[in-house]
Amino acid sequence: MVTIKIDERTRAGKAILEIVKIFSKDKEGVEIVETAARKAKEVENIPNKLTLKSMEDTSRGIGLTKCDSVDDLFEKLEI
């Protein structure tokens, strides 16, 4: 048995994972197993209610601050 760690967030990792999926489809002896940490991370990436509301408001144009330039943005942010 061989274990290979693949970071599927990288371009190379995505490519390797797709190749393995293609060549191992319907084959015995090859199994792709997600780690518990990876599954847990997917759950953590679900936006909470406040974030969802903010995203909806933004897409509707609610609560946006219009700026004429980067300097104007920094001034409005008091930076």
> What would the pLDDT profile of 28-38 be if each residue is shown by its tens digit?
777 777 776 66
Question: According to the model, what pLDDT value does residue 11 have?
Answer: 93
**pLDDT for residue 57:** 94
Give the pLDDT confidence score for residue 54 in this predicted structure. 94
Predicted pLDDT at 31: 78
How many angstroms separate the CA atoms of 10 and 32, rounded? 18
- Confidence label for 62 from pLDDT (cuts 50, 70 and 90): very high
What sign has the CA pseudo-torsion 69, 70, 73, 78? negative
CA 40 from chain centre, in angstroms, equals: 13
Residue type for position 30: V
Measured CA to CA, the distance from residue 65 to residue 74 in angstroms comes to 12
